[in-house]
Protein backbone atom coordinates (compact mmCIF):
# COMPACT_ATOMS: atom_id res chain seq x y z
CA UNK A 1 0.00 0.00 0.00
CA UNK A 2 1.06 3.58 -0.43
CA UNK A 3 2.87 5.49 2.27
CA UNK A 4 0.97 8.10 4.24
CA UNK A 5 0.76 11.44 2.49
CA UNK A 6 3.74 13.65 3.26
CA UNK A 7 2.02 16.91 2.30
CA UNK A 8 -0.44 18.79 4.54
CA UNK A 9 -3.65 16.70 4.62
CA UNK A 10 -5.83 19.18 2.71
CA UNK A 11 -3.33 19.75 -0.12
CA UNK A 12 -2.36 16.09 -0.27
CA UNK A 13 -5.95 14.86 -0.32
CA UNK A 14 -6.90 17.31 -3.07
CA UNK A 15 -3.99 16.12 -5.17
CA UNK A 16 -4.63 12.45 -4.53
CA UNK A 17 -8.36 12.66 -5.32
CA UNK A 18 -7.65 14.53 -8.53
CA UNK A 19 -5.13 11.91 -9.59
CA UNK A 20 -7.47 9.05 -8.73
CA UNK A 21 -10.27 10.46 -10.87
CA UNK A 22 -7.93 10.58 -13.90
CA UNK A 23 -5.65 7.58 -13.39
CA UNK A 24 -6.23 5.13 -16.27
CA UNK A 25 -3.77 2.61 -14.87
CA UNK A 26 -5.69 1.68 -11.73
CA UNK A 27 -7.90 -1.45 -11.98
CA UNK A 28 -11.18 -0.88 -13.80
CA UNK A 29 -13.97 -3.49 -13.94
CA UNK A 30 -15.48 -4.52 -17.27
CA UNK A 31 -18.80 -2.86 -18.21
CA UNK A 32 -20.87 -5.96 -17.45
CA UNK A 33 -19.86 -5.73 -13.77
CA UNK A 34 -20.80 -2.06 -13.46
CA UNK A 35 -24.56 -2.61 -13.63
CA UNK A 36 -25.03 -1.87 -9.92
CA UNK A 37 -24.31 1.77 -9.21
CA UNK A 38 -24.27 4.45 -11.88
CA UNK A 39 -21.84 7.28 -12.51
CA UNK A 40 -18.15 7.35 -13.28
CA UNK A 41 -16.33 4.55 -11.44
CA UNK A 42 -13.09 6.45 -10.83
CA UNK A 43 -14.69 9.83 -10.07
CA UNK A 44 -17.13 8.36 -7.52
CA UNK A 45 -14.33 6.45 -5.83
CA UNK A 46 -12.28 9.63 -5.55
CA UNK A 47 -15.29 11.55 -4.23
CA UNK A 48 -15.91 9.02 -1.49
CA UNK A 49 -12.28 8.80 -0.45
CA UNK A 50 -12.52 12.52 0.31
CA UNK A 51 -15.72 11.95 2.31
CA UNK A 52 -14.16 9.05 4.24
CA UNK A 53 -11.27 11.27 5.31
CA UNK A 54 -13.00 14.62 5.82
CA UNK A 55 -16.30 13.40 7.30
CA UNK A 56 -15.45 9.97 8.67
CA UNK A 57 -11.98 10.73 9.98
CA UNK A 58 -10.37 7.85 8.07
CA UNK A 59 -6.68 7.53 8.90
CA UNK A 60 -3.99 5.91 6.72
CA UNK A 61 -3.37 3.19 9.31
CA UNK A 62 -7.00 2.18 9.90
CA UNK A 63 -8.47 -1.30 9.64
CA UNK A 64 -11.36 -0.93 7.17
CA UNK A 65 -14.39 -3.15 6.60
CA UNK A 66 -16.39 -2.38 3.44
CA UNK A 67 -19.84 -4.01 3.63
CA UNK A 68 -21.34 -4.25 0.15
CA UNK A 69 -17.98 -3.62 -1.52
CA UNK A 70 -19.23 -4.66 -4.98
CA UNK A 71 -16.62 -4.27 -7.71
CA UNK A 72 -14.19 -2.31 -5.58
CA UNK A 73 -15.43 1.20 -6.25
CA UNK A 74 -14.25 2.21 -2.77
CA UNK A 75 -11.40 -0.29 -2.52
CA UNK A 76 -9.43 0.96 -5.53
CA UNK A 77 -8.94 4.53 -4.25
CA UNK A 78 -8.18 3.21 -0.78
CA UNK A 79 -5.22 1.26 -2.19
CA UNK A 80 -3.61 4.65 -2.76
CA UNK A 81 -4.43 6.06 0.68
CA UNK A 82 -4.02 3.30 3.25
CA UNK A 83 -0.46 2.76 4.39
CA UNK A 84 1.52 -0.40 5.15
CA UNK A 85 0.04 -2.11 8.21
CA UNK A 86 -3.51 -0.98 7.51
CA UNK A 87 -6.01 -3.58 6.30
CA UNK A 88 -9.06 -3.60 4.07
CA UNK A 89 -11.71 -6.32 4.02
CA UNK A 90 -14.53 -6.20 1.50
CA UNK A 91 -17.63 -8.38 1.77
CA UNK A 92 -20.52 -8.68 -0.65
CA UNK A 93 -23.22 -11.09 -1.83
CA UNK A 94 -22.14 -10.79 -5.48
CA UNK A 95 -19.67 -13.60 -6.24
CA UNK A 96 -18.75 -12.26 -9.68
CA UNK A 97 -17.86 -8.83 -8.32
CA UNK A 98 -15.79 -10.38 -5.52
CA UNK A 99 -13.99 -12.60 -8.02
CA UNK A 100 -12.98 -9.59 -10.08
CA UNK A 101 -11.70 -7.77 -6.98
CA UNK A 102 -9.73 -10.79 -5.78
CA UNK A 103 -8.14 -11.23 -9.20
CA UNK A 104 -7.39 -7.57 -9.95
CA UNK A 105 -6.80 -5.84 -6.59
CA UNK A 106 -5.45 -8.39 -4.11
CA UNK A 107 -2.39 -9.53 -6.15
CA UNK A 108 -0.96 -5.99 -6.14
CA UNK A 109 -2.30 -5.11 -2.66
CA UNK A 110 -2.20 -8.23 -0.45
CA UNK A 111 -3.70 -6.40 2.53
CA UNK A 112 -6.89 -5.94 0.50
CA UNK A 113 -9.01 -9.05 1.00
CA UNK A 114 -12.42 -9.98 -0.34
CA UNK A 115 -14.85 -12.65 0.82
CA UNK A 116 -18.50 -13.54 0.20
CA UNK A 117 -21.29 -12.67 2.59
CA UNK A 118 -23.82 -15.42 2.00
CA UNK A 119 -26.85 -13.35 3.02
CA UNK A 120 -30.21 -13.62 1.28
CA UNK A 121 -31.43 -10.56 -0.61
CA UNK A 122 -34.41 -10.62 -2.95
CA UNK A 123 -32.64 -8.54 -5.60
CA UNK A 124 -28.98 -9.38 -5.29
CA UNK A 125 -28.73 -12.85 -3.74
CA UNK A 126 -32.10 -14.58 -3.32
CA UNK A 127 -30.51 -17.93 -2.55
CA UNK A 128 -28.37 -16.73 0.32
CA UNK A 129 -27.94 -19.10 3.27
CA UNK A 130 -28.37 -16.49 6.01
CA UNK A 131 -31.48 -14.33 6.31
CA UNK A 132 -30.53 -10.67 6.51
CA UNK A 133 -32.18 -10.46 9.94
CA UNK A 134 -29.68 -13.03 11.26
CA UNK A 135 -26.55 -11.90 9.40
CA UNK A 136 -23.22 -12.50 11.10
CA UNK A 137 -20.08 -10.70 10.01
CA UNK A 138 -17.05 -13.04 9.84
CA UNK A 139 -14.85 -10.73 11.93
CA UNK A 140 -13.78 -10.66 15.57
CA UNK A 141 -15.15 -8.29 18.18
CA UNK A 142 -13.54 -4.82 18.19
CA UNK A 143 -11.37 -5.66 15.16
CA UNK A 144 -12.30 -2.77 12.80
CA UNK A 145 -11.57 0.96 12.94
CA UNK A 146 -13.93 2.04 10.17
CA UNK A 147 -16.92 0.33 8.58
CA UNK A 148 -18.06 1.55 5.17
CA UNK A 149 -21.77 1.10 4.48
CA UNK A 150 -22.26 2.88 1.17
CA UNK A 151 -25.64 2.36 -0.49
CA UNK A 152 -26.52 -0.62 1.71
CA UNK A 153 -29.16 0.75 4.10
CA UNK A 154 -31.06 1.91 1.00
CA UNK A 155 -31.64 -1.77 0.11
CA UNK A 156 -32.59 -3.23 3.51
CA UNK A 157 -35.74 -3.38 5.60
CA UNK A 158 -35.69 -2.28 9.25
CA UNK A 159 -35.24 -5.73 10.87
CA UNK A 160 -32.20 -6.32 8.68
CA UNK A 161 -30.86 -2.84 9.46
CA UNK A 162 -31.17 -3.59 13.16
CA UNK A 163 -29.12 -6.74 12.72
CA UNK A 164 -26.48 -5.06 10.56
CA UNK A 165 -26.23 -2.28 13.14
CA UNK A 166 -25.70 -4.73 15.98
CA UNK A 167 -23.00 -6.59 14.06
CA UNK A 168 -21.26 -3.34 13.13
CA UNK A 169 -21.32 -2.23 16.78
CA UNK A 170 -19.77 -5.58 17.71
CA UNK A 171 -16.85 -5.43 15.27
CA UNK A 172 -16.06 -1.72 15.77
CA UNK A 173 -13.06 -1.08 17.99
CA UNK A 174 -13.29 1.60 20.69
CA UNK A 175 -13.30 4.94 18.91
CA UNK A 176 -14.29 3.27 15.64
CA UNK A 177 -16.64 4.88 13.12
CA UNK A 178 -19.20 3.70 10.62
CA UNK A 179 -19.65 5.74 7.44
CA UNK A 180 -23.21 5.05 6.26
CA UNK A 181 -25.35 6.48 3.47
CA UNK A 182 -29.14 6.48 3.33
CA UNK A 183 -32.25 8.19 1.99
CA UNK A 184 -33.45 10.15 5.04
CA UNK A 185 -36.98 11.47 5.13
CA UNK A 186 -37.31 14.84 6.86
CA UNK A 187 -39.12 18.10 6.09
CA UNK A 188 -36.80 19.31 3.29
CA UNK A 189 -36.69 15.85 1.69
CA UNK A 190 -40.48 15.51 1.74
CA UNK A 191 -40.83 19.01 0.27
CA UNK A 192 -38.57 18.00 -2.60
CA UNK A 193 -40.52 14.80 -3.19
CA UNK A 194 -43.82 16.70 -3.10
CA UNK A 195 -42.51 19.28 -5.58
CA UNK A 196 -41.43 16.56 -8.02
CA UNK A 197 -37.73 17.35 -7.57
CA UNK A 198 -36.61 13.95 -6.26
CA UNK A 199 -34.30 11.98 -8.54
CA UNK A 200 -36.04 8.72 -7.62
CA UNK A 201 -39.81 8.09 -7.91
CA UNK A 202 -40.63 8.08 -4.21
CA UNK A 203 -44.36 8.72 -3.63
CA UNK A 204 -45.50 11.89 -1.89
CA UNK A 205 -46.92 10.24 1.25
CA UNK A 206 -46.46 12.46 4.28
CA UNK A 207 -48.03 9.86 6.57
CA UNK A 208 -45.53 7.10 5.70
CA UNK A 209 -42.32 6.55 7.70
CA UNK A 210 -40.95 4.23 5.00
CA UNK A 211 -41.14 4.88 1.25
CA UNK A 212 -40.13 2.63 -1.64
CA UNK A 213 -39.30 4.07 -5.03
CA UNK A 214 -40.20 0.96 -7.03
CA UNK A 215 -43.16 -1.01 -5.63
CA UNK A 216 -42.48 -3.88 -8.04
CA UNK A 217 -38.98 -4.21 -6.48
CA UNK A 218 -39.27 -2.73 -2.97
CA UNK A 219 -35.64 -3.34 -2.00
CA UNK A 220 -34.30 -1.38 -4.99
CA UNK A 221 -34.50 1.95 -3.12
CA UNK A 222 -35.94 2.56 0.35
CA UNK A 223 -36.21 5.86 2.23
CA UNK A 224 -36.75 6.00 6.00
CA UNK A 225 -38.02 8.70 8.31
CA UNK A 226 -34.79 10.05 9.77
CA UNK A 227 -35.70 9.54 13.43
CA UNK A 228 -36.99 6.03 12.72
CA UNK A 229 -33.71 4.95 11.12
CA UNK A 230 -31.60 6.60 13.81
CA UNK A 231 -33.74 5.01 16.52
CA UNK A 232 -33.29 1.57 14.94
CA UNK A 233 -29.53 2.02 14.83
CA UNK A 234 -29.44 3.40 18.37
CA UNK A 235 -31.25 0.31 19.64
CA UNK A 236 -28.55 -1.73 17.88
CA UNK A 237 -25.77 0.13 19.68
CA UNK A 238 -24.86 2.91 17.24
CA UNK A 239 -25.45 6.65 17.46
CA UNK A 240 -24.85 9.42 14.98
CA UNK A 241 -21.95 11.54 16.12
CA UNK A 242 -23.01 14.75 14.30
CA UNK A 243 -25.82 15.93 11.98
CA UNK A 244 -25.98 14.24 8.59
CA UNK A 245 -24.36 15.64 5.47
CA UNK A 246 -27.53 15.70 3.40
CA UNK A 247 -27.47 14.72 -0.26
CA UNK A 248 -29.13 15.68 -3.53
CA UNK A 249 -31.43 12.68 -4.02
CA UNK A 250 -34.59 14.56 -2.92
CA UNK A 251 -33.82 17.68 -4.96
CA UNK A 252 -32.20 19.43 -1.99
CA UNK A 253 -30.02 22.28 -3.23
CA UNK A 254 -26.35 22.14 -2.33
CA UNK A 255 -26.32 18.50 -1.25
CA UNK A 256 -22.82 17.17 -0.65
CA UNK A 257 -23.30 13.82 -2.40
CA UNK A 258 -26.24 11.90 -3.87
CA UNK A 259 -27.34 10.04 -0.72
CA UNK A 260 -27.35 11.41 2.82
CA UNK A 261 -24.20 10.64 4.83
CA UNK A 262 -24.18 9.68 8.52
CA UNK A 263 -21.12 9.04 10.70
CA UNK A 264 -22.00 6.53 13.43
CA UNK A 265 -20.13 5.44 16.56
CA UNK A 266 -20.76 3.29 19.61
CA UNK A 267 -23.80 4.45 21.55
Q: Which domains does the chain possess? A: 9-266 (3.40.50.150)
| Contact status, residue 155 vs residue 183, Cβ threshold 8 Å | no
> Any bridge partners for residue 146, and if so which?
64, 177
- pTM, 2 dp: 0.93
Q: What share of the chain is helix, strand, coil (3-state, %, to 5)?
A: 35, 20, 45
Q: pLDDT, tens digit, for every residue of 115-153?
A: 999 999 999 999 999 999 999 999 999 999 999 999 999
Average pLDDT of the chain, as a whole number:
93
pLDDT higher than 50, residue 4: no
**Helix (H) / strand (E) containing 125:** none
For every residue of 57-123, which 3-state class applies, written as one string? Answer: CCCCCCEEEEECCCCCCCHHHHHCCCCECEEEEEEECCHHHHHHHHHHCCCCCCCEEEEECCECECC
From CA 65, how far away is CA 170, in angstroms rounded? Answer: 13
Q: Band the pLDDT of 3: cuts 50, 70, 90.
A: very low
Tens of pLDDT, residue by residue over 210-225, are: 999 999 999 999 999 9
pLDDT tens by residue, 43-87: 999 999 999 999 999 999 999 999 999 999 999 999 999 999 999
| Residue 39: per-residue pLDDT | 74
Note the pLDDT of residue 32: 85
Amino acid sequence: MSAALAMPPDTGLDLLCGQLARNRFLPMPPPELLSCGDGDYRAIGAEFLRHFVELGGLRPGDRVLDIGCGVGRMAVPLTQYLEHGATYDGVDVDARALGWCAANITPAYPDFRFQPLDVAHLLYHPGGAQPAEAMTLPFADASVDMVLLVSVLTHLELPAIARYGAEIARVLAPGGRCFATAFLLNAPAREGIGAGLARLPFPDRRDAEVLVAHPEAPLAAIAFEEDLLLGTLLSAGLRRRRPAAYGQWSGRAGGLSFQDICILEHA
